[in-house]
């Protein structure tokens, strides 16, 4: 059994059946033996974007309902922000080309919890995490 953290776009693409999600990522997420985490950071990011009317984020419901519906699946768990995550965030290098606070906190969570991060974001390769795509 392996443990994975879904980046926000991976979470949305998986549940929408979007072809942008890589075959490898879909296979991992589909595998019920794997434990997948949905970070509260992603819920926070989606809530902000939904409140700004971002059309690509058409979830058909509010973010809290969307996430609660996904947690019904036994192999998805909600990952809160812990103080240990902030410790990793505080020492994470700040690269000029990558300052997104949501991404940085997801990276810190993945590092702290020793999770592979499912993301197409190539900027993540600069960090000491296992990025799956």
- Contact by Cβ (8 Å): 132, 24: yes
Q: What tokens does 64 get?
A: 């809290």
Window from 5-9, 69-73, 115-119 with minimum mean pLDDT? 69-73
Token look-up 């906190």 returns 105
Q: What tokens does 81 get?
A: 């922000």
The pLDDT tens digits of the residues spanning 30-89 come to 999 999 999 999 999 999 988 887 665 677 788 888 898 888 876 799 999 999 999 999
Single out the residue of 17, 19, 22 nearest to residue 121, CA to CA: 22
The structural domains of the chain, ordered by start, are 3-128 (3.40.50.1010)
pTM above 0.75, yes or no: yes
Dihedral angle computed from the Cα positions of residues 90, 94, 36 and 47, in that order, rounded to the nearest 10 degrees = 90
- Contact by Cβ (8 Å): 111, 126: no
Q: Name residue 38's beta-bridge partners.
A: 6, 78
| Angle between the N-to-C axes of helices 63-70 and 40-51, in degrees from 0 to 180, rounded to the nearest 10 | 150
Within 1-131, where are the H helices? Answer: 8-16, 23-30, 40-51, 63-70, 83-91, 101-113
pLDDT in the model for residue 112: 96
Percent pLDDT > 70 in the chain is 94
């Amino acid at each position: 059994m392996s443990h994975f953290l879904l980046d926000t776009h991976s979470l949305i693409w998986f549940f929408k059946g979007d072809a942008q999600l890589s075959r490898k990522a879909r296979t991992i997420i589909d595998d019920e033996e794997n434990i997948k985490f949905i970070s509260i950071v992603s819920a926070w990011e989606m809530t902000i974007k939904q409140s700004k009317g971002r059309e690509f984020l058409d979830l058909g419901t509010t973010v809290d309902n969307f996430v609660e519906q996904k947690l019904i699946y036994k192999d998805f768990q909600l990952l809160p922000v812990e103080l240990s995550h902030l410790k990793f965030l505080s020492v994470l290098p700040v690269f000029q080309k990558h300052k997104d606070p949501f991404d940085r906190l997801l990276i810190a969570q993945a590092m702290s919890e020793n999770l592979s991060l499912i993301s197409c974001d190539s900027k993540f390769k600069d960090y000491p995490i296992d990025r799956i795509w």
